[in-house]
A and B are shown apart, each in its own frame.
Chain A
Amino acid sequence: MEEKKKTWKELPEGDILEGGTSLQFKTGNWRSERPVHIPEKCIHCFICWISCPDGAVKVDEENGKFVGFDYDFCKGCGICAYECPKDAIKMVPETGEEK
């Protein structure tokens, strides 16, 4: 069903929104390549996590473990793969199929 969008009379004035609305804007489909994790090589240094411009690397802070990528928001820029000191991330062409 199509989302009911607000008319100009209903919208809050002057483009003022509650914070954090970018969570509703899934940018993952902009991706042409996706990062794929190679767990055997990973040393859980979190360099990918700190380098990702989109906050799309998920980590388990308590246990200090790399968890995975948030493909809803990962734009496939490849920075994580470039920065990873252990080549534990490879970029593969996006096929459009969910993995």
Chain B
Amino acid sequence: MKGTGRRVAKTANEAFAEAMRQIDPDVVAAYPITPATEIVQIFSQFVADGLVKTEFVAVESEHSAMSACIGASISGARAMTGTSSQGLALMWEMLYIAAALRLPIIMAVVNRALSAPINIHCDHSDTLGARDSGWIQIYSENVQETYDNVIQAVRIAEHPDVRLPVMVTTDGFILSHCLETIEMLTDEEVKEFIGEPPVRENLLKSLEENKPITIGALDLQDYYFEHKRQEAEAMKNALKVIPEIGKEFGEKFGRSYGFFEEYKLEDATVGIVVMGSTAGTGKDVVDELRKEGKKVGLLKIRVFRPFPFEEISKALSHLQVVGVMDRADGVNSYSGPVFPEICACLYDLEKRPKIVDFIYGLGGRDIRKEDIAGIFDGLLKIAETGKKEFNLKYIGVRE
């Protein structure tokens, strides 16, 4: 069955805010930051207009925003927030606490470059920096995916086998401020899909029996490791839950989601791995090169945490050459943050593809179709000669 399909023009920020209105969380605590400001600005209007029953907490910093969400979530409330770049950076210590306490908080993140120099435009340095914080990370190619991902995030985060916070990302300005026609679900469809938050038995027991509990107490050499092991297991469970929910979403509303999208990859000899809006540009380039008879393809990562290690390995295994497009620099002398993960999942293959990294688009630098075509040509050349003349190339920077 398909959704009732209300087609509306929305920017990703508006789509985030609309999804939040439909989710109607118990608590939203947020602090404004470009380019994510609009999300909570629009949402606060919904609160003022009485369209939601949310308790809106206008806090004094992002550190407090995440702290307030943690407090709310501990008490059993559905809590959401939104941020970008420096705001996410200021939340850092609370990110780890939210995940380790197993709190299903949902955060809309509009990807923006980290300072310095100060910049408000898109790259993925902010969320990729938080890759080991224990948050599930879902990246969006366009406004439609941004919207769909937030709705699914609620179910993923609150699944009893997972109970981890989820950040859904969208590309700053490229998506956050650009109008796109999307299909929104009705309020009822969203309500029905997300359902009521599952009751946390231990919290309920504490209330019923009037027995106070301690959360996040001192946990030294003898127990910390066991709690981290639980968190790791929850992230592993998310690997099972995310595609189930993506499939159910597809059955109900016509748009299915998995860990990643393979675009003309099946019979390709070379392929690129991308995240976010660049995937859209990349697909256009694939189409054009295919017309010239070039066997190129693309893999768009949607779910970066948990990292679908085996699935990505399988999807890329037949390629001769893989090019990873990193919209962040690891500043580590050899690659961006996505590259080593793709290398790792290819390492054990009998016949492993050659692999190179391309760092592009830092601070919102445009990535043009010619740039991506150039990347493909480079990969095809490696496939042809069997020789790799570089491991890392910067794309679009003035040399």
Contact = CB atoms under 8 A, between A and B. Distances in A.
28 contacts: A5-B222, A6-B226, A7-B226, A8-B226, A8-B229, A11-B223, A11-B226, A13-B102, A13-B163, A14-B101, A14-B102, A14-B215, A14-B231, A15-B215, A15-B217, A15-B219, A15-B223, A16-B101, A16-B213, A16-B214, A17-B213, A17-B217, A18-B213, A19-B213, A20-B212, A20-B214, A21-B214, A21-B217
Interface residues of A, number: 17
Given A6-B226, A8-B226, A17-B215, 11 more contacts: A5-B222, A8-B225, A8-B229, A8-B233, A13-B230, A15-B216, A15-B219, A15-B227, A16-B202, A18-B212, A19-B211
Contacts of A11: 223, 226-227, 230
A15 B214 CA distance: 8
B116 interface: no
Nearest to A10: B226
B232 to A, nearest CB: 9
Interface of B: 100-103, 163, 202, 211-219, 222-223, 225-227, 229-231, 233
A15 B213 contact: no
B93 to A, nearest CB: 16
A15 B101 CA distance: 7
A52 B100 CA distance: 32
Nearest to B211: A18
A15 B229 contact: no
Interface of A: 5-8, 11-22, 25
Nearest to B231: A14
Contacts of B213: 16-19
B222 A8 contact: no
Nearest to A13: B102
A26 B313 CA distance: 50
B211 A12 contact: no
A20 B218 CA distance: 12
User: Considering the complex of A and B, which 8 residue pairs feature the smallest CB-CB distances, nearest first?
Assistant: A19-B212, A14-B102, A8-B226, A8-B229, A17-B214, A14-B101, A15-B227, A8-B230
Contacts of B100: 14-15
A16 B212 contact: no
Contact of B230 (A14, A18, A19, A25): A14
A5 B229 CA distance: 15
B17 to A, nearest CB: 30
Q: B101, B215, B222, B226 — which one has the most chain A CB atoms within 10 A of its CB?
A: B226
A47 to B, nearest CB: 29
A25 B222 CA distance: 13
B202 A12 contact: yes
A19 B214 CA distance: 5
A33 to B, nearest CB: 24
Q: A11, A13, A21 — which one has the most chain B CB atoms within 10 A of its CB?
A: A13
Q: A8, A11, A12, A18 — which one has the most chain B CB atoms within 10 A of its CB?
A: A8
A22 B214 CA distance: 10
Contacts of A22: 217
A78 B300 CA distance: 62
A5 B211 CA distance: 23
A14 B227 contact: yes
Contacts of B102: 13-14
Nearest to A3: B222
A25 to B, nearest CB: 7
A63 B8 CA distance: 75
Contacts of A20: 212, 214
A9 to B, nearest CB: 8
Given A5-B222, A8-B230, A14 B217 contact: no
